[in-house]
Amino acid sequence: AQSVTQPDIHITVSEGASLELRCNYSYGATPYLFWYVQSPGQGLQLLLKYFSGDTLVQGIKGFEAEFKRSQSSFNLRKPSVHWSDAAEYFCAILSDSNYQLIWGAGTKLIIKP
Amino acid sequence: EAQVTQNPRYLITVTGKKLTVTCSQNMNHEYMSWYRQDPGLGLRQIYYSMNVEVTDKGDVPEGYKVSRKEKRNFPLILESPSPNQTSLYFCASSLQILAGGPTGELFFGEGSRLTVL
């Protein structure tokens, strides 16, 4: 069965530092992968998606993610975080059985001033 | 402005008192879905709808009902709420264009925080 794992429940980084949030998935074929962000008190917003093609995808708010088939990973990165990036980040994969999203548990990003 | 609108945003109710959380989208999306979000449990899908008059159970449908009589609306009904349904609820919508299913690119409402006493 397909699944998504976000190993880190919380991550704390200093403002201006680089960020990498980890996401691992289990799936045999090429997955459809997503990163969503949930700012405090808000709904989720799509940051970026990977369907096929270039394995480095660019998203909104200066985020990017790299699909690595050999590592079954789709890690989210940002070169320099801002205090406004404090939020919870969710990785998800599209199920090939019923076309619903399978969600990771989320990683809460805390920004130190 | 393209949006998914949920109402109410906050509600405190008592066990057994029927309630409906409304969800409306103005993007002409075919696919709509309800999720609940609980600390430590992440997002869990309650019901989804691929199109008008077509609904399916998600992972945690017990205690909930939905209907999809119009494309834009997808209300979530709690016939007899219980305290274990205290949660943050999200409605989401998506264009249905990927091999008969949603694209995975969901638009979310701002959430409805429900407390059942």
Q: What is the largest CA-CA distance in chain A?
A: 44
User: B83 in helix, strand or coil?
Assistant: helix
Report the chain A residue with the minimal C-alpha distance to residue B42.
A105
β-bridge pairing A10-14 and A107-112:
parallel
- Chain A touched by B33 (CB under 8 Å): yes
CA-based nearest distance A26→chain B, Å: 17
Tens digit of each residue's pLDDT, chain A (113 residues): 889 999 999 999 999 999 999 999 998 777 899 999 999 989 999 999 998 889 999 999 999 999 999 999 999 999 999 999 999 999 999 888 888 899 999 999 999 98
Q: What is the DSSP letter of B61?
A: -
> Among B43, B54, B59, B113, which would you mutate to test the A interface (most chain A Cβ atoms within 10 Å of its Cβ)?
B43
